[in-house]
Structure 1
Amino acid sequence: MMKSGDHMINVLNMSELTKSLSEHGVLRDESGYGVIASFQGAEHEYHALRNHVGLIDLSASGLYVISGEDFVEFVSSLLTKDIDFLDIEKTLTSLMLDEDGQIIDMVSVYRLEQAILIETSAAKRDKVGAWLAERKSDGVEIENWNATKTMIGFEGPYAWKLAQTIVPFDISSVPYQAFVEIDLEDEPIVFIRSGFTGEYGYKIIVPHHQAISTWEQLKAWEEEEGELEIKIEPVGLEALEIAMLEVRQPRAQVEGNGLTVYEAAVQWFVSYHKEAYVGYSALQEQLQQENKQHLIGFTADNTLTLEIGNAVMLSSNKVGHIVQLAYSPTLEKKLGLALLDDACAVSGIELEGINEAGESIVLNTVSSPYVLPKSWSIKMI
């Protein structure tokens, strides 16, 4: 990561929205795509996500529209989730596997009237695009929406109040994992209720030329809730990733980084009655393997040094290693994920993390969610 400059802007692939925001933030390289890591610091932005509203530039996410005579069959053959009965204006999350059963990405799938939209992570955007092109049949058309459209997200316990200013109907009528196609300033957009942090979350997909003005309009919004002045703050990827970890929301860069479906503990993205998809046979073999490991959450004292890759020990025996680590402002502790032997990958036990200096740090395994989002106790009015 580095402060934005001409070199970074020229080297990284990024939308016009990201370029405009990079003047005020720190850029991060996500497999060649520029994303904003932070604006005013991760902890400040985290506070917005958990207590107010965080505005998120999602323009680096991949957006591929699949259409044609065989579009449903084609997309279904690449997903672990069953989409045969996915209704129009509904969405779900699925794994996309390669032939060896390894995770290519965790994608969001949107059922349009005559097509399916696939949303990818920024890091795996090109990999998914290449995979779609490689598997494409004659009865399928693939359109890259990134050429013409930009995605913006906003999340927080009061995000629904901001969402109400966009849609011309009662916001509570849009259920979780649903979307509608509406007009915003006489331009067609996609309005989605779906998020990453456990808070109320929404995304909008707008034409490129509308992205910067829409961002500025959303950013200018504020409202009062009793004595609380609700504010909206731009949020970078660092704060978003902390909030995602707190509710055990998987990320392609962690769970999809060389781990099997079982190791990543993302079996809930798999429809087990479904058999006809790429990677199915390899996945069944993985599930039959012995001496398995999987991810479990843990907390540790924030004053002690730990790093990703540090060994995890139980009674002087190595039982795994740390794969993700962050500071949780709510818990005021280090929070992480460790890949552990199955016998140890349970909540409520005490383990040891061994840092590079050979020091022993107490790790306490915990069950998710590690933080209860404020949105869970706030009703839309």
Structure 2
Amino acid sequence: MTDTLRRTPLFSQHQALNARFTPFGEWEMPLQYSSILQEHHAVRQRVGMFDISHMGKFLLHGAGVHAALQVLVPTDLSRLRAGQAKYTVLLNEAGGIVDDVILYIEEAAVRCIVNAATAAKDMAWLRRYLPPECEIVDESATKVLLAVQGPAATATLDPLCADSLAPLKPYRHRAVKILGQPAWVARTGYTGEDGVEILVDSDTGERLWQALLEAGVTPCGLGARDTLRLEAAMLLYGQDMDEETTPLEAGLEWLIDWQKRTFVGREALSRQKQEGIERQLVGLELQGKGIARHDYPIYWQAQAVGKVTSGTLSPTLGNAIALGYVFPEFANVGRELTVQVRDRHVPAVVVPRPFYRRPR
């Protein structure tokens, strides 16, 4: 690792657990502690925790901040009330995805959690479009953000909280006290499992990490985070989408409220919707031995029809899965294709997304 990589406030905790580290953007982050497979299964079957303090954490407030955001995202925020959250995207004028974010609505503010690698870009984007009376407080360096995920997540956390988290519904958030200290908790995550994300100060974050370890929670790194999110077909910014990708291509049209007359990128998206897209995101299940990796070509017979963006051997399903872009005429579910894995063409079929849904 180089000395230029940033570290979260919990870095010494990860060292004490003999974590294996990896560069992730500008950060030195835990890749795994035990094994990716064990950490993955811990989240699917019980409960695991991730240090996600590297993510950008902005608090937007000021007169008219809710109305100002309405024209900055394609999603209708007008029906959201304090305590609710919404996944959406920031777009450029060409309709390309600047970043995918979650907005958490408060009475007089909006909390915005953004990807670590795009935090500086997102800050500049927000400052460019928000009116001067809207202030942006960057909490990225001063707060610890933990994701506690899995079917036993809230039950494990409840003994540490002043009030039970069980009544908190998905995509809801509220202030609580954890270990007697102020905390903010949201029922959101990036694993396809039940769970919460917790924002606290650095000292409380270290105490909470230790308390969760003592409660039997499995520490998990970026390796398991990637296999979990891919099973749930959650996109990774910079890999499955970027500024050259539109929501229509990425299967995110459900984020667009076409009744909104004005939002950044609307004209370009309207034109693309009318003219049609040139590529479309699909889920692939490989039928033979081999794992599809980023940029592996996708074929129909001898014709190259697309590229893989993410791929792994699914620990839960036991077979290789992938996301990729293909020409729209090859995107129908059931379409048989192949993925070139090194010097072999491995049979694959287009399947519905997500690959995995948690039991209800």
**Which TM-score band (shorter chain)?**
over 0.9
- One of 279, 290, 297 as aligned partner of 1:293: 279
CA-CA distance at 1:97 after TM superposition: 0.6
- One of 122, 126, 151 as aligned partner of 1:128: 122
Aligned residues: 358
CA-CA distance at 1:241 after TM superposition: 1.5
CA-CA distance at 1:74 after TM superposition: 2.4
Tell whether the 8 Å contact from 1:154 to 1:203 is kept in structure 2 after alignment.
yes
Tell whether the 8 Å contact from 1:18 to 1:59 is kept in structure 2 after alignment.
no
Superposed structure 1 runs of 4+ greater than 4 Å apart: none
Q: Confirm whether residue 105 of structure 1 aligns to residue 99 of structure 2.
A: yes
CA 1:302/1:47 → structure 2, altered by over 3 Å: closer, same or farther? Answer: farther
Q: Confirm whether residue 353 of structure 1 aligns to residue 357 of structure 2.
A: no
CA-CA distance at 1:19 after TM superposition: 4.6
Q: Structure 1 vs Structure 2: percent identity of aligned residues?
A: 23
Tell whether the 8 Å contact from 1:92 to 1:109 is kept in structure 2 after alignment.
yes
Partner Cα separation in structure 2 for residue 22 and residue 134 of structure 1: 39
Tell whether the 8 Å contact from 1:55 to 1:219 is kept in structure 2 after alignment.
no
Please list, as runs of the form range in 1=range in 2, the aligned pairs for 1:215-226 lying within 5 A after superposition.
215-222=209-216
CA 1:80/1:354 → structure 2, altered by over 3 Å: closer, same or farther? Answer: same
Corresponding residue of 2:189: 195
Please list, as runs of the form range in 1=range in 2, the aligned pairs for 1:115-264 lying within 5 A after superposition.
115-222=109-216, 232-257=217-242, 258-264=244-250
Tell whether the 8 Å contact from 2:336 to 2:347 is kept in structure 1 after alignment.
yes
CA 1:105/1:291 → structure 2, altered by over 3 Å: closer, same or farther? Answer: closer
**What per-residue deviation string (whole Å, max 9, x for no partner) do you get for residues 322-356 of structure 1?**
11111101222111012111121122222112233
**What per-residue deviation string (whole Å, max 9, x for no partner) do you get for residues 53-89 of structure 1?**
1111110111101111121122222212111221111
Corresponding residue of 2:264: 278
Name the TM-score, length of structure 2 as normaliser. 0.93
- SS, match of residue 353 in structure 1: strand
- SS, match of residue 330 in structure 2: coil
Report the residue type matching 1:274 in the other structure: K
Please list, as runs of the form range in 1=range in 2, the aligned pairs for 1:335-346 lying within 5 A after superposition.
335-346=321-332
**What per-residue deviation string (whole Å, max 9, x for no partner) do you get for residues 168-188 of structure 1?**
334332111111112223421
Corresponding residue of 2:108: 114
CA 1:356/1:177 → structure 2, altered by over 3 Å: closer, same or farther? Answer: same
Alignment RMSD (CA, Å): 1.9
CA 1:301/1:120 → structure 2, altered by over 3 Å: closer, same or farther? Answer: same
Corresponding residue of 2:43: 49
- SS, match of residue 271 in structure 1: coil
Name the TM-score, length of structure 1 as normaliser. 0.88
Report the residue type matching 2:66 in the other structure: V
Tell whether the 8 Å contact from 1:163 to 1:202 is kept in structure 2 after alignment.
no
